[in-house]
Structures are given as C-alpha cells and as structure tokens.
A = this chain, B = another copy of it.
Amino acid sequence: MKPIIETLLDCDFYKFTMQQFIYSYYPTTDVTFALTNRTSEVRLADMIDIGELSEQLTHVRTLKLNDTELRYLRGLDIYGKRMFSEAYLQFLNTLRLPAFALWQEDGQFVLQFHGSWKEVTLWETFALSIINELYYQSLMKSFTPFAKDCIIAQGRLNLRNKILKLKPHNISFIDFGTRRRFSREWQDYVVEVLKDALSYYGFRGTSNTYLAMKHSISPEGTNAHELQMAVAAIAGSDSEIRASQQRVFEQWYELYGFGLSIALTDTFGSDFFFATVPHEMIETWKGLRQDSGDPFQFGWKALNYYRGKDINPEDKLIIFSDGLNVDTIIDLHNRFNPSIHTSFGWGTNLTNDMGFRTLSLVIKLVSANGKPAVKLSDNLAKAIGPPDEIARYKKIFKYTSEFNQKCEV
C-alpha cells in the first residue's frame, strides 16, 4: 500500500487551531464524528475496497509529528504572537489518532470516530482526503496510462484558465482544497503553481499545513462549525444552547485574539448571528466567513449590518468558502470590493477540477457527550442532526429561512 497521508501536517490548519481550543476549554468532552455522502447516488462502497480504505486509515494512526514538524508549529507566529502553547504542542507530540469504526451498508460506508474530542477532531480531513483519493483511483482503475495523463493534462489547462482569469483582478484567495482534492500529489502541484504564478496577484496561502511548510507560504484557516455545534450540544437548556454560540466566540478571541477573529456565522443561521452579535464583537473582530446560502445576499446583509451599526465595512473582511468557482469568485470580488474586503477559501473546484464529477462528502460532528449535535446553516441541504433536534434548534435560533439547494461539492 502506498500511503495517501504521510504526515499529520497533511491536514487543514484549522484542525490544529481548533484542537488547541478544544484542548484548552473542552478537554473532557467526548464526541462522535461520522461520514455522510451527500452525493448518495454514488455507491462509494461498491467502488472503494473497504480493506484498502481501512488500511489507509490505519496508517494514519501510526503517524506522529517529527521534530521539524513540531518546530514548525512552535515557530508559527503569523499574527504577531506564538499561536500554539507548549502544553498543547506536547499533547500533540504524543498524540496517536484514536480508533475508527468502519463498515458498509447499502453501498455506502459507515465511518465513525468516537472518543475524546481533542483527539478525534483531527480525523476529519485525513479521512476525507483518503476517501476522495481512493474514489478517483477507482474511477481510473481501467484507464490506460495515456488516459490518466489526459486527466492531468485537463487539470493543468483548467488550472491555467483559472490563473489567466484571476491574475488581472488581483483577488485574495486561499487554497481550501485538502479534503476534496483529486490527490495529494495534485494539490501539491496546484499549490506550487499558484505560488509561482499568483503570489503577487492575490494567492495568500493554503489551509494545508504540510504544503504551507513545504512551499513556505502561509497556513490559513480559523475554525469550523464543530466548535459551536459541540458546545451547543453539551449546553443543556434551550437558553443555554442559544447563549453557547457567543461563548465560543469569546473563548476563541481569548485564545487567538484579533489574528483569527473571523466569525463563522451560519452554524445556526446567519440571521440569528446578525440579530444577536454584540456590538463590541462585530466592531473588534476582523470579519466573517460565509459558508452556505446565497453569498451575494450574505454580502449585502453584512454590508448593511456594518453600516447600520456605524462600523466602516471597508475595514472588515468576508471570507467566502462555499462551493466556489472562478467566475463566482470574480463576481463576488467585483461586487463587494472595495466596500468591504473579500477573500476566498477555494476548495473542491481548485484542487479537483479534472473533468470528473465531484463528490459532496463530509465528516461532521454528530454528538457531544452523548447529545445530538446540530447544524442548521444557511442552506437546509447542509443541515445536520436528527429531524426533531433540527426542529428544536430552528425554534431556539428563530430560524425561518427556506433556502435549500443541493450541494455539488
């Protein structure tokens, strides 16, 4: 077996920032993460050998950081201060990833990770990267070497097309494509090319920690829904659940300060966020991340919000990260700059644009301390949780939006 994951750094940087957060504030919380294939018509378990998948996942459990990798993390001070505490780094240094449960059911994989949140959290992007790469390997199993060459050739020309379109606009963007990449090797290539071609034209870095280290560019990312979801799940009463989102924001700011102060607004619907966010926070924080729903509407909503609160949006930032392609990116950039800064976390379509259909696979938190975890998001197709809990959360967060659009990526 040729391992797909060869280092624990080959994962999204925000897994480390979140892991330190969990290690610091929620060290005793237990969680379960589970795989969902939103492209359910693709029978993954018929295409990927379960033994091979298991072997790849097991290999990740043998990995530990080497000295250079640890020193790299210790040396990170992107926002003017050391990002990781020595205590956390020592924890990470001794970490082995916990066990996984894997079986197949009706042509799909059931893949679950259960255990201490501070350990389990790291699994997400490793497992997704592995499943995606095995899937594309299976699609190409019967390909001739030339047919495989042509897939790469198409990927290169598609990448060139993106670069040619982006360059004149000087658009700030980040590679967010680790979890849905065509292959590790391909993401590595894409990042190298972007560094050479667009470093001075907007390419800001990658969410992939290993590639950031390898190519000497910025590791990027802040946090994901799992923080708000877990903290809500363990909160207890409806009002505690409602209050929990703000607690996460406060703890986050306490830990990372202004540098990583990008608020992910859609976990329980962005309407709730804008209706309840304290003025001081919205004034202090660097900006917002948009990850579901209509990005243009979100942009206008944010602009109006800032202006309504007498905050100059020109000092603020929106990071768009929901199923982007080059034309949407240019559109959003042109629509909102310079009224507000924009940046783009570009995933699937950046690292997996080879002419194949893409999968919408996620590994999401399903429970914390035995209680179901819920995400509503600004697109009900992305909602997570048991139906009765989703209904309950909708009430708690006064969620009224009907936006529902199938996820392509």
Contacts and interface: CB of A to CB of B under 8 A. Distances in A.
Contacts of A146: 156, 159-160, 193, 196-197
A153 B144 contact: no
Nearest to A157: B153
A146 to B, nearest CB: 4
A140 B152 CA distance: 21
A150 interface: yes
A154 interface: yes
A149 interface: yes
Contacts of A149: 156
Scoring A144, A153, A197 by chain B CB atoms within 10 A of each residue's CB, the highest score goes to A153
A102 to B, nearest CB: 37
A192 to B, nearest CB: 8
Question: What's the number of copies of this chain in the assembled complex?
Answer: 2
Nearest to A146: B193
A55 B336 CA distance: 58
Nearest to A156: B153
Interface string A137-170: 0000000111101101110110110000000000
Interface residue tally on A, bucketed by range: 10 to 19
A164 to B, nearest CB: 10
A188 to B, nearest CB: 13
A153 B144 CA distance: 16
Contacts of A157: 150, 153-154, 157
B144 A197 contact: yes
Interface in A332-383: none
Contact of A144 (B144, B145, B152, B196): B196
A15 to B, nearest CB: 29
Contacts of A153: 152-154, 156-157
Nearest to A149: B156
A159 B197 CA distance: 27
Contacts of A150: 156-157, 160
Contacts of A152: 153
Interface in A118-151: 144-147, 149-150
A152 B156 CA distance: 10
Contacts of A147: 160
A149 B192 CA distance: 13
21 contacts: A144-B196, A144-B197, A145-B196, A146-B156, A146-B159, A146-B160, A146-B193, A146-B196, A146-B197, A147-B160, A149-B156, A150-B156, A150-B157, A150-B160, A152-B153, A153-B153, A153-B154, A153-B156, A153-B157, A154-B157, A157-B157
Interface of A: 144-147, 149-150, 152-154, 156-157, 159-160, 193, 196-197
5 closest pairs, A vs B, by CB? A153-B153, A153-B156, A146-B193, A150-B160, A153-B157
Given A150-B160, A157-B157, 12 more contacts: A144-B196, A146-B156, A146-B159, A146-B160, A146-B193, A146-B197, A147-B160, A149-B156, A150-B156, A153-B153, A153-B156, A153-B157
